[in-house]
Structure 1
Amino acid sequence: MKKRVTYYILNIVTIFIVTMFFSCNDSFKQVQKIGISENEPIGVDYNINVKYTDSGRVSANLISSKMLDYSNRDFPFHQFTDGVTLYVYDKQNKKSTVVAENAFVYANTDLIDMQDNVVITTHDNRVLKTDQLFYDQKKEWLYTNKPVSFKTDQDLINGNGFDSNADFSNAEVLEVTGIITLED
């Protein structure tokens, strides 16, 4: 009888240990997130000055006073909430300036999403105004589907959407809704 009780206890302990062993999982990422809400940034940085390079050449320079780091998310990004200035350089190192109230930089896609009162001033003084503008860092391409106002030397063009490369050599307002010819 004593052997039987020992046998049952041994089986129960074995079943308990096997159950515990198979219930374990890799929870390192969960442990890292303890105390951090997924809706909160993992960090806050101030006085940001980030330079993007391509083959040793600076292609863009992003400056902001405050950055929120959401790299703890499944689709990581950085948010600039207190205004942002983006300098975009073409292959001849001519600088165009983009100013916006907010911006999001997505690490996985190399995309910068600028929002709220976005103003671009090109190296040759053309001015684009819109509420949202995307900059694809890999393709060095600017675009939006939002309403735009684009001032050239001769015209003020209003429309919905805009496409351009970084040097604005092929800037185009999409779905033109009006053109005003400017006088000298």
Structure 2
Amino acid sequence: MVKKNKYIIKNIVIAAAVAMFFSCNNSLSNVQKIGISENEPIGEEYNSNLKYTDSGRVKANLISTKLFDYTNRDFPFHEFTDGATLYIYDNENRKSTIVADYAYVYTETDLIDMRSNVVITTHDNRVLKTDQLYYDQSKEWLYTNKPVSFKTEQDLINGNGFDSNSKFTNAEVLEVTGIITLQEED
């Protein structure tokens, strides 16, 4: 009877060990998440300077005094709460500057979302003001559907949207409500 009880206890211990072995998950990402709320950033960075390059050439440079890292989310992003400055460089290395009070960078889509008091100053001193502007890094494209004010050398163009490549060679104010000077061709 003692031998039978030892056999039963031995089988129970083996079954429990096997169950524990298969139930344990040695996932480093799960271990790293312990103690971190999904609503909290996994990191903070101060005086960040992010550079976006293509073929060894800097295409864009995002500078901010404070960055929150939310890459632990299903849709990962970085948040810039104390303002952000984005420099965009064209092929001739001319710099256009975008300044905003707030920004998000969505890491999976290469989209930069600039918000609140957004001001673009192009390399040739044209100025666009709006409340929100998106910069698609992969397509090198800027756009918004918010009201805009676009000041060129001779005009102030108001409208409800803006679309342009990063070189500003085909900048277009959408749903124009301002005054535009047109030149007649002979």
Root-mean-square deviation (CA, aligned residues, Å) is 1.8
Which residue of the partner structure matches residue 173 of structure 2? 173
* Shift in alpha-carbon separation, 1:61–1:148, aligned structure 2, 3 A: same
Higher strand fraction (1 or 2):
1
Distance 1:51 1:14 in 2: 55
What TM-score do the two structures reach when normalised by structure 1? 0.88
Deviations 1:72-119, CA, capped at 9 Å, x for gaps? 323222211111111111112221110000111122222111111101
Counterpart AA for 1:111: L
Distance 2:142 2:175 in 1: 16
Q: Deviation at 1:181?
A: 4.5
1:137 aligns with 2:125: no
Runs of 4+ in 1 over 3 A off after TM superposition: none
* Shift in alpha-carbon separation, 1:24–1:99, aligned structure 2, 3 A: same
Residue segments in structure 1 that go unaligned for 5+ positions in a row: none
Distance 1:28 1:58 in 2: 34
Distance 1:12 1:59 in 2: 64
Q: Deviation at 1:71?
A: 2.4
Which residue of the partner structure matches residue 48 of structure 2? 48
Distance 2:94 2:8 in 1: 82
Counterpart AA for 1:117: N
Deviations 1:107-153, CA, capped at 9 Å, x for gaps? 22221111111010111221111111111112111111222121223
Distance 2:13 2:63 in 1: 62
Counterpart AA for 2:30: Q
Counterpart AA for 1:31: V
* Further displaced range: 43-52 or 119-128: 43-52
Distance 2:47 2:73 in 1: 23
Distance 2:58 2:15 in 1: 63
Which residue of the partner structure matches residue 161 of structure 1? 161
How many equivalent residue pairs?
A: 181
Distance 1:64 1:146 in 2: 24
Percent identity for Structure 1 against Structure 2: 73
Deviations 1:1-28, CA, capped at 9 Å, x for gaps? 3333233223322332232222222343
Counterpart AA for 1:65: T
Distance 1:15 1:61 in 2: 58
